[in-house]
Amino acid sequence: MRHVRREQLDQLFHTAVEYTSPKKTRSIRPRIELLITVLLVLCLSFLVSKASAQTTTTGTIEGIVTDHNGAVVPAVTVTVTSPNLIRAQSATTDREGRYRILNLPPGRYAVTAEATAGFARFVKADVDVGLSKTSSVIIQLTPAGATAIVNISGTSGWESNSSTSLRLRRPELTTNQ
């Protein structure tokens, strides 16, 4: 009888060892740990993205430079100035005539496109830049010779009114008979 008990105990022991063996057991604990880790990473990434979105303290000015016919003009230097800047910031247009000036503190800016071969200088004042805002400035360059200053000396035959428009005065006709 003692012999039978020992065999039974051995069989019971082997069954217990097989049942607790790592190969055959399926513990739910590693799955729970993985789920907690994934949730923690997702929560942290969400919080970091929200925090970074709230700390943006600059804006952008961007646009395109074209000529009077609407064709893009590459390699134009576009400069922005403002009392909010320590020094002017600039960018050069790419092959498609696009430019972008990043990291500008909020405020009002003057945008200048420097004169290039055949084109006059372009200036646009009071461009507003806000927090996380992109302000668009479309620059259309005019031909360099398109601007002219006319000086009029003498007033014979011309009248001028206070609104700076000129009007031709007809001289009175006299006939000699």
Burial 54-84 (b: 16+ CB within 10 A, else e): eeeeebebbbbbbbeeeeebeebebbbbbee
pLDDT of residue 116: 80
First to last CA, the chain: 168
Question: Is the predicted pLDDT of residue 21 greater than 70, yes or no?
Answer: no
Question: Is the predicted pLDDT of residue 162 greater than 50, yes or no?
Answer: no
More confident residue, 88 or 159: 88
pLDDT of residue 127: 95
Q: What is the pLDDT of residues 35-60, one digit of tens each?
A: 888 888 888 887 776 655 556 789 99
Question: Following DSSP, what letter does each residue of 44-85 receive, concatenated?
Answer: HHHHHHHHHHHT---EEEEEEEE-TTS-B--S-EEEEE-TT-
| pTM for this model (two decimals) | 0.53
pLDDT of residue 106: 93
CA-nearest of 97, 85, 92 to 114 is 92
